[in-house]
Amino acid sequence: MSSLANNYNRRKLSFKRGKGSFLYANNGKKYLDFVQGIAVNSLGHANLNLIKAINKQSKKVWHVSNAFIIPEGERLAKRLTKKTFADSVIFQNSGAEATEAAIKVARRYFYSIGKPNKNRIICIKNSFHGRTIAAINASGSKKMIEGFGPKVDGFDHFEFGDHKKLKKMITKKTAAIMVETIMGEGGIKIIPNWCLKELRKICNKKKILLILDEVQCGIGRAGKFFAYEYAKIKPDIVPIAKGIGGGFPIGAVLMTKKVASGMTPGTHGSTFGGNPLAMSVGNAVLDQIFKKNFLKNVKKLSKYFHLELNKLKKEFPKIIKEIRGIGFLIGLQLFQDQTKFIQKLMDNKLLTIRAAENVIRILPPLNVKKKEIDLAVKIIKKVCHTYK
């Protein structure tokens, strides 16, 4: 019997090592891993560049404190701001911390300009922003909130796509709209470009902030460094995590100079956030993702993957309802509950993971090879053939 609490429905599978797209299990089998720690291992398992970076830094200094200058973090922040809308970065350790920090930054900005009552955040009902007390209340998911005491006030919710309700919801107390650019846990639901543009317009008109949670869809996962780039808009605040650490826990919130002005010394902090070890790994991840043809290749290969999956959808119209997502953030939506299908894929040595709305999430590393995609397609096809 496990001494771990039972808050996860764990699969009976463990691993002794990984390499690229593959995991080698303690049962002797080799699995094609298209979970990759839930969109975390952007460069696959045991990437040599990341190993080199962490080894090198581990011999110098692991941790100091944000009471000192951390050059590796200065560099990572500089690189993130140079590539994006942002002017400033605060480093954290996880996605939930990053979204919490995003909420704090938004509220603190209005406080700092003399509008302390402007503090409510509008979110999509049943979205996902992490598991802390504030983040579950931001998500507005009954399942996540239930049993965890008094609801945290300060969040208003509208249903995905309900623009009328959203517009009506904005009051003089509204500080920001916070949405995932692509809803991950919610079933790989893309907010269309026209809609993101509309959100930007609404925020400009009402003088409120746009927070785009790119914890899952950011850092190249969607084929661009940030998924919102497709809509040619600029957000005010963007929390990131998952992919930036390539497997090492890193979170961050990116923001414009304007909103960063509220974050004066003492307003926020983190003991571990931005430590030299984490920052060295983050820089090594960017070394790869910023390479000239890296994202072009993600786009090209993911397009191929989507094409092949859509062929399967045509071949099995009674099983597969829809192929969702963009880049390597892929959702295979079934007509029925996906649990058995995921199990069968695993029996055939392909690892995937669920999302809401009967969706199977397929999350290869961003440097996946074409022949590995072909292998996945072959396995999914085989399972479709035997699936009833």
Ligand X SMILES: *Cc1c(COP(=O)(O)O)cnc(C)c1O
* Contact window for ligand X (CB under 6 A) among 3-11, 210-218, 319-327, 369-377: 210-218
Residues β-bridged to residue 143: none
Does 96 sit near ligand X (CB under 6 A)?
A: yes
Least separation in angstroms between CB 31 and ligand X: 22
Residues 256 and 237: their CA atoms lie apart, in Å, by 7
* Contact window for ligand X (CB under 6 A) among 128-136, 162-170, 252-260, 369-377: 128-136
**Which is nearer to ligand X, 75 or 131 (by Cβ)?**
131
* Contact window for ligand X (CB under 6 A) among 126-134, 140-148, 302-310, 314-322: 126-134
Least separation in angstroms between CB 331 and ligand X: 13
**Which is nearer to ligand X, 330 or 377 (by Cβ)?**
330
CB atoms within 10 A of CB 168: 10
Q: Which of 129, 200, 221, 324 binds ligand X (CB under 6 A)?
A: 129
Which residue in the block uniquely carries the two structure tokens 């746009």? 210
Least separation in angstroms between CB 127 and ligand X: 8
Positions 171 through 190 that interact with ligand X (CB under 6 A): 180, 184-185
**Which is nearer to ligand X, 20 or 130 (by Cβ)?**
130
Q: Is the dihedral of CA 232, 165, 184, 348 positive or negative?
A: negative
Least separation in angstroms between CB 233 and ligand X: 18
CB atoms within 10 A of CB 192: 12
Does 130 sit near ligand X (CB under 6 A)?
A: yes
Q: Which of 21, 94, 119, 333 binds ligand X (CB under 6 A)?
A: 94
**Which is nearer to ligand X, 200 or 221 (by Cβ)?**
221
Least separation in angstroms between CB 180 and ligand X: 5
**Which is nearer to ligand X, 36 or 380 (by Cβ)?**
36
Q: Which of 31, 109, 128, 155 binds ligand X (CB under 6 A)?
A: 128
* Contact window for ligand X (CB under 6 A) among 110-118, 123-131, 169-177, 337-345: 123-131
Does 139 sit near ligand X (CB under 6 A)?
A: no
Cα 62 → chain centroid = 26
Least separation in angstroms between CB 99 and ligand X: 5
Does 137 sit near ligand X (CB under 6 A)?
A: no
Residues 93 and 73: their CA atoms lie apart, in Å, by 13
Site size with ligand X, rule: CB under 6 A: 15
Does 76 sit near ligand X (CB under 6 A)?
A: no
Least separation in angstroms between CB 369 and ligand X: 25
* Contact window for ligand X (CB under 6 A) among 62-70, 124-132, 155-163, 331-339: 124-132
Q: Do residues 259 and 105 lie in contact, with contact meaning Cβ atoms separated by under 8 Å?
A: yes
**Which is nearer to ligand X, 236 or 308 (by Cβ)?**
236
**Which residues sit at the interface with ligand X, rule CB under 6 A?**
94-96, 99, 128-130, 180, 184-185, 213, 215-216, 241-242
